[in-house]
């Protein structure tokens, strides 16, 4: 063998060894028992905050001496005395104010547009950050997928990490990956459905809204999704999942659905297990739940805003980042055996709809309205008029039976009145087809 080839072989072997070491470390942490995991997390928290303060310009200014009790004396209870990091901080620090490693160590760069401000926020990862996340996601995917599965990924690959990360993780499980993406001009819904059928896709990775729409497209092409296609699993990404939407997906596709949770700037925060619980990714982040107005920690098991501190992010560590998501952490052991706690996601704070002085999450409204729709397509829209909720339905569901059931349920659960308006199926379909990430929000009545 020539010297050049020997050098190449050595380089590749070292690279592979390093990747195996990262993957092995991920698995060893995920296999710790509860006590072992707690001790590991506390050590990791002290190191992570120290690294953020030392490495990132933002935290060098923001944390200062306030973090000393944590970083020098190992007092993890001091975390709750540190200031929060907000989405506004990430906007203001765009792109590299949070960078905590030399620029050349950044292996991947992504960004997300602000949901309300329109300003971008950056997200970047070292190779170790990236592979750690891929391996963690693959660890959970393996609970419901095997190498026999054909997985179609219909979420954005552009800039946002979710498509790229799931793609890599599915590959690690050994699935056949069909990278549909969400660039609808190149791969419109009709082509997506044709590919699902031709390649025998078993697993659809997308928002629930898109999964329901693809079933409609299949029907329009003369195929009955339950009989003519092989989709048996829907992995939710990019949108919360109400029980009613999961039920509808089951009816339409004959599929079981599983929820994942994350955001571009934090990467994955929650993954499903075989028991269909959503486990917090506690080997990568430290989680708190705080009162959305006061910022004070809420009592165990109550709903509040999820706050995230990175434990393993080298490139872009975050300390007490307010996610804007309403969550409830559950501390009881899951039958799957994982020591990671589970979480119930209750929708985004900013997406709550105020009706009659009552703030209601969009997910709760979806659950009420969708559970009473009797005929596909299961489209609906809503808007608060202040005193009541205006609900948009298509002709197929605009019946006395559906309206009365929704009205009674909204009154029973939230004590709010409702009125109804007729909407065309085309209105909904135009919204879905023009959205890179079609979600229930596409359906808000303007
Ligand atoms: Zn579990």
* CATH number of 71's domain: 3.40.50.12780
Same domain (yes/no): 150, 250: yes
**Average pLDDT over the chain, rounded to an integer:** 93
Of 349, 366, 393, which residue constitutes the final position of a domain?
A: 349
Of 317, 333, 349, which residue constitutes the final position of a domain?
A: 349
Same domain (yes/no): 94, 161: no
Same domain (yes/no): 201, 243: yes
Question: What separation in Å is there between the alpha carbon of 423 and the centre of ligand 1?
Answer: 40
Question: What separation in Å is there between the alpha carbon of 277 and the centre of ligand 1?
Answer: 5
Question: What separation in Å is there between the alpha carbon of 323 and the centre of ligand 1?
Answer: 23
Same domain (yes/no): 284, 304: yes
Q: Looking at residues 422-431, what average pLDDT do you find?
A: 89
Output the domain CATH number for residue 375: 3.30.300.30
pLDDT tens for 75-95 read 999 999 999 999 999 999 999
Of 301, 325, 349, which residue constitutes the final position of a domain?
A: 349
Give 104's DSSP letter: G
Same domain (yes/no): 148, 220: yes
Domain-located, residue 267: no
Q: Looking at residues 29-58, what average pLDDT do you find?
A: 97
Q: Which of 24-28, 60-64, 428-432 has the lowest mean pLDDT?
A: 428-432
Alpha helices by DSSP H, 187-283: 189-199, 208-220, 225-228, 243-253
**Does the global pTM surpass 0.85?**
yes
Question: What separation in Å is there between the alpha carbon of 353 and the centre of ligand 1?
Answer: 31
Q: What is the pLDDT at residue 1? A: 60
Question: What separation in Å is there between the alpha carbon of 149 and the centre of ligand 1?
Answer: 21
The model's confidence at residue 440, banded by pLDDT at 50, 70 and 90, is: low
Residues in a beta bridge with 293: none
Domain-located, residue 58: yes
Specify the number of domains making up the chain.
4
Domain-located, residue 246: yes
Same domain (yes/no): 144, 175: yes
Same domain (yes/no): 195, 227: yes
Same domain (yes/no): 314, 237: no
Question: What separation in Å is there between the alpha carbon of 246 and the centre of ligand 1?
Answer: 18
Same domain (yes/no): 141, 217: yes
Question: What separation in Å is there between the alpha carbon of 281 and the centre of ligand 1?
Answer: 12
Domain of 4, in residue numbers: 1-31
Percent pLDDT > 90 in the chain is 85
- How far apart are alpha carbons 284 and 445 in whole angstroms? 38
The model's confidence at residue 443, banded by pLDDT at 50, 70 and 90, is: low
- How far apart are alpha carbons 387 and 355 in whole angstroms? 6
- How far apart are alpha carbons 139 and 23 in whole angstroms? 10
Q: What is the pLDDT at residue 355? A: 94
The answer to whether residue 193 scores a pLDDT higher than 60 is: yes
The model's confidence at residue 302, banded by pLDDT at 50, 70 and 90, is: very high
pLDDT tens for 212-259 read 999 999 999 999 999 999 999 999 988 888 999 999 999 999 999 999
Cα dihedral value 199, 226, 153, 444, nearest 10: 150
The answer to whether residue 159 scores a pLDDT higher than 90 is: no
Same domain (yes/no): 134, 255: yes
Question: What separation in Å is there between the alpha carbon of 259 and the centre of ligand 1?
Answer: 12
Q: What is the pLDDT at residue 185? A: 79
Query: Terminal CA-to-CA distance of the chain, rounded, Å?
Result: 69
pLDDT tens for 161-191 read 889 999 999 999 999 999 999 866 789 999 9
Same domain (yes/no): 426, 329: no
Same domain (yes/no): 249, 283: no
């Amino acid at each position: 063998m020539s010297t050049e080839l020997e050098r190449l072989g050595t380089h590749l072997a070292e690279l592979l060894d390093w990747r195996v070491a990262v993957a092995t470390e991920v698995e060893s942490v995920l296999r710790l028992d509860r006590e072992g995991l707690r001790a590991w997390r506390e050590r990791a928290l002290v190191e992570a905050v120290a690294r953020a303060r030392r490495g990132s310009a933002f935290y060098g200014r923001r944390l200062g001496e306030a973090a000393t009790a944590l970083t020098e004396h190992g007092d993890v209870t001091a975390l709750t005395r540190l200031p929060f990091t907000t989405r506004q901080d990430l906007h203001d620090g765009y792109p590299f104010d949070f960078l905590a490693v030399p620029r050349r160590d950044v292996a991947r760069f992504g960004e997300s547009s602000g949901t309300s401000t329109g300003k971008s926020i950056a997200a970047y990862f070292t190779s170790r950050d990236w592979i750690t996340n891929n391996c963690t996601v693959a660890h959970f995917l393996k609970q419901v997928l095997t190498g026999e599965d054909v997985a179609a990924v219909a979420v954005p690959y552009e800039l946002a990490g979710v498509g790229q990360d799931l793609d890599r993780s599915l590959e690690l499980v050994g699935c056949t990956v069909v990278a549909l993406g969400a660039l609808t001009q190149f791969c419109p819904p009709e082509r997506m459905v044709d590919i699902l059928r031709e390649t025998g896709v078993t697993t659809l990775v997308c928002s629930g809204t898109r999964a329901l729409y693809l079933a409609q497209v299949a029907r329009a092409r003369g195929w009955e999704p339950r009989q003519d296609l092989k989709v048996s699993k829907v992995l939710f990404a990019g949108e919360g999942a109400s029980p009613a939407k999961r039920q509808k997906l089951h009816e339409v596709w004959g599929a079981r659905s599983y929820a994942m949770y994350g955001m571009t700037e934090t990467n994955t925060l929650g993954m499903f297990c075989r028991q269909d619980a959503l486990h917090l990714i506690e080997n990568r982040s430290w989680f708190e739940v705080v009162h959305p107005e006061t910022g004070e920690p809420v009592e165990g098991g109550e709903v509040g805003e999820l706050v995230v501190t990175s434990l393993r992010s080298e490139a872009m560590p975050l300390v007490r980042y307010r996610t804007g998501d309403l969550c409830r952490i559950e501390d009881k052991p899951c039958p799957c055996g994982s020591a990671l706690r589970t979480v119930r996601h209750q929708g985004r704070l900013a997406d709550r709809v105020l009706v009659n002085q009552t703030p209601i999450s969009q997910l709760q409204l979806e659950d009420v309205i969708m559970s009473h729709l009797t005929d596909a397509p299961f489209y609906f829209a809503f808007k608060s008029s202040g005193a009541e909720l205006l609900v948009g339905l298509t002709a197929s569901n605009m019946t006395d039976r559906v309206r009365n059931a929704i009205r009674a349920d909204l009154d029973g659960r939230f004590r709010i009145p409702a009125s109804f308006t007729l909407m065309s199926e085309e209105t909904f379909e135009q919204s879905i087809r023009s959205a890179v990430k079609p979600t229930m929000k596409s359906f808000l009545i303007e």
